[in-house]
Amino acid sequence: MRLAYAAAFAALIASPTFAADVKGEIVNAIEHAEYAAEASSIAEVHAHLHHALNCIVGPGGNGFEAHEMNPCVGSGNGIIPDTADAAAKAKLEAAAGKARDGIATDDVATAKADATFVANVLNGLKYPLRCAILHKVWGSAPMSKSSFCVAAGVLALSGAASGYLMGKTLRTSAFPWTP
């Protein structure tokens, strides 16, 4: 039985979910969307929206600009390509569209509003994507994904299992319990 769990865990670590640091990509994209929303000139807004968009769509994605900084280089293929959840992808596509709109306009207020929209969408996706990844790893328990996510959220808020629920150790650590 332990061999089966070890094989399943090894397969998950090798999967695309773990090959990419989606959480890191999201955090970087949020940071640059927020920089854009707080910028004082249209050039600054455009630059940071390009950075956020590059993280969202990844190389080869709609609107990716190779001559602009890609703060997510080495983290994955972009948030959209690295995300399997269809609902999350739809939200990410909307955020990417708003980023492209903000880049296309020369009105500072409009571009900053678009950047705020992008940051808000990305902030809203941080917890659900983490939950989806956790459910994929430890979701063999007889409970629904939403129940699992609520339980994971309660554990995260209580501080229990924080190393597994909140960060980078998820991709490199063994199961936190022995079945």
pLDDT tens, residue by residue, 75-104: 999 999 999 889 999 999 999 999 999 999
pTM above 0.75, yes or no: no
pLDDT for the residue 78: 95
Question: Is-contact 53 103, C-beta < 8 A?
Answer: yes
Reported as a single tens digit per residue, the pLDDT across 2-36 is 544 444 444 444 444 445 789 899 999 999 999 99
Which of 37, 28, 32 lies closest to 116, judged by CA?
37
Give the amino acid at 97.
G
Q: What is the C-alpha separation between 7 and 74, in angstroms, rounded?
A: 27
Question: Is-contact 63 92, C-beta < 8 A?
Answer: no
What burial letters (b/e) apply to 141-165, b meaning 16+ CB within 10 Å?
eeeeeeebbeebeeebeeeeeeebb
Q: What is the C-alpha separation between 145 and 136, in angstroms, rounded?
A: 9
